Amino acid sequence: MADRSPDARLIRTRAALVDAITGLLDERPVSEITISDLVRRAQVTRPTFYQHFPDINAAARAALIERLQSSFPAQHEIREWEELDPSGWELEQTITGILSHIVLHSAFYRRVLHGAGSFPLYDDLCDFIEAELMTRSPIRHKIREAALSGRIDPAFIAGGFVTLVVRWLKSDFTGPNAVNVFAPRLAKNMVLIFQSVILPRS
């Protein structure tokens, strides 16, 4: 039997709205999407929309985070830092997968980045990456220890990662910005940062 509790209904209607705006953003810019378009496609009412989001931009930002999250490794695939190849090869493969996903959906990501409010979206992206680092990355335990001791601010790492990827998204994905060139460079930078967090202080 389907769960008819209020919480379950809220989860279903939010998912319907996010799915609907994701589809609309695959077709056209944020500026050309109205709340009427969205609720019609999601098959919900306008008051239901406002239960979840204050405006279209907020819904678009939520759709971007959810689509981006789908490109990250599943929880059961996450390994401990000590288990990984010290060369960073496995991290490079993970980043390659994420970047390949972004290229595949580049029109969607560019539309949200250009039309959903740059400052709130940047904050949302940084918060998302910081949460991934703190809870689901191979260095999650070490980075929490480093943050508590004041040795590093996870927001600094997240902000750098987001800035580099957003700049890259504005490129044509060729030459130095081809996935197979950019991913190793980004992985190398991340490994250097991770090692600085994990290595004991002298």
CA-to-CA dists, residue 182 to 109, 167, 199, angstroms: 18, 12, 26
Note the residue count of the chain: 202
Picking from 98, 22, 113, the residue whose alpha carbon sits closest to that of residue 59 is 22
CB-CB contact of 179 with 100 (8 Å): yes
CB-CB contact of 48 with 13 (8 Å): yes
Q: What is the pLDDT of residues 51-100, one digit of tens each?
A: 999 999 999 999 999 999 999 887 667 777 777 676 667 888 889 999 99
Domain architecture of the chain: domains with CATH: 6-55 (1.10.10.60), 71-198 (no CATH)
Q: Which pTM was predicted?
A: 0.87
- The pLDDT value recorded for residue 202 is 47
- Average pLDDT rounded to a whole number, residues 87-115: 90
Q: Which range, 1-5, 18-22, 135-139, has the best average confidence (pLDDT)?
A: 18-22
Rounded CA-CA distance 127/125 in Å is: 5
The distance from CA 129 to its chain's CA centroid, rounded to whole angstroms, is 6
Q: What is the DSSP string of 6-34?
A: HHHHHHHHHHHHHHHHHHHHTTS-GGG--
**Could you tell me which residue, 111 or 138, shows the higher pLDDT?**
111
Q: What is the pLDDT of residues 157-189, one digit of tens each?
A: 899 999 999 999 999 999 999 999 999 999 888
Rounded CA-CA distance 88/106 in Å is: 26
pLDDT at 116 over 80: no
Residue 44 CB contacts under 8 Å (≥ 6 apart), including other chains: 13, 16, 17
- The pLDDT value recorded for residue 150 is 83
- The pLDDT value recorded for residue 193 is 80
